[in-house]
């Protein structure tokens, strides 16, 4: 999708600090971190949100969660971490490209903020 900022990052049109990449997924440092470790993990395929996930995407979502687990291990988040997916405007989704926030490096309270 030509106007999607994450698609532009995936295409290499916008620079990012990558922590992981394969043929289906990319993981990058968030430019406005909410925790000492704040990684965004997203599919390379443009899927707007969880509302747009089809049954055929379920293996991809499983792969994404495996990537999140592996990145958390590499970043030594052994004391814990949070995985967040915001869905839609009222859910706090700011970029219409499904992505998951991996947050860690400090004690995370609930509710946030």
* Token duo for residue 69: 């687990």
Closest CA to 33 of 106, 109, 110, 111: 106
Rounded Cα distance, 44 and 18, in Å: 13
Q: What is the DSSP string of 23-70?
A: SSEEEEE-SS-SSSEEEEEEESS----GGG--GGGHHHHHHHHHHHHH
Residue tagged active-site, from 38, 97, 99, 101 = 99
What does the DSSP 8-state code read for residue 18?
E
Active-site residue 99, yes or no? yes
Q: Which residues are catalytic?
A: 99
């Amino acid at each position: 999708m030509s106007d999607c900022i994450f698609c532009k990052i995936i295409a290499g049109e916008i620079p990012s600090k990558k922590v992981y990449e394969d043929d289906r997924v990319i993981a990058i440092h968030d430019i406005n971190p909410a925790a000492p470790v704040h990684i965004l993990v997203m599919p390379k395929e443009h899927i707007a949100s969880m509302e747009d996930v089809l049954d055929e995407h379920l293996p991809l979502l499983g792969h994404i969660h495996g990537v999140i687990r592996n990145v958390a291990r590499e970043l030594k988040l052994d004391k814990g971490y949070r995985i967040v997916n915001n869905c839609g405007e009222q859910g706090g989704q700011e970029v219409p490209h499904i992505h998951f926030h991996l947050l860690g490096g400090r004690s995370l309270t609930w509710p946030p903020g």
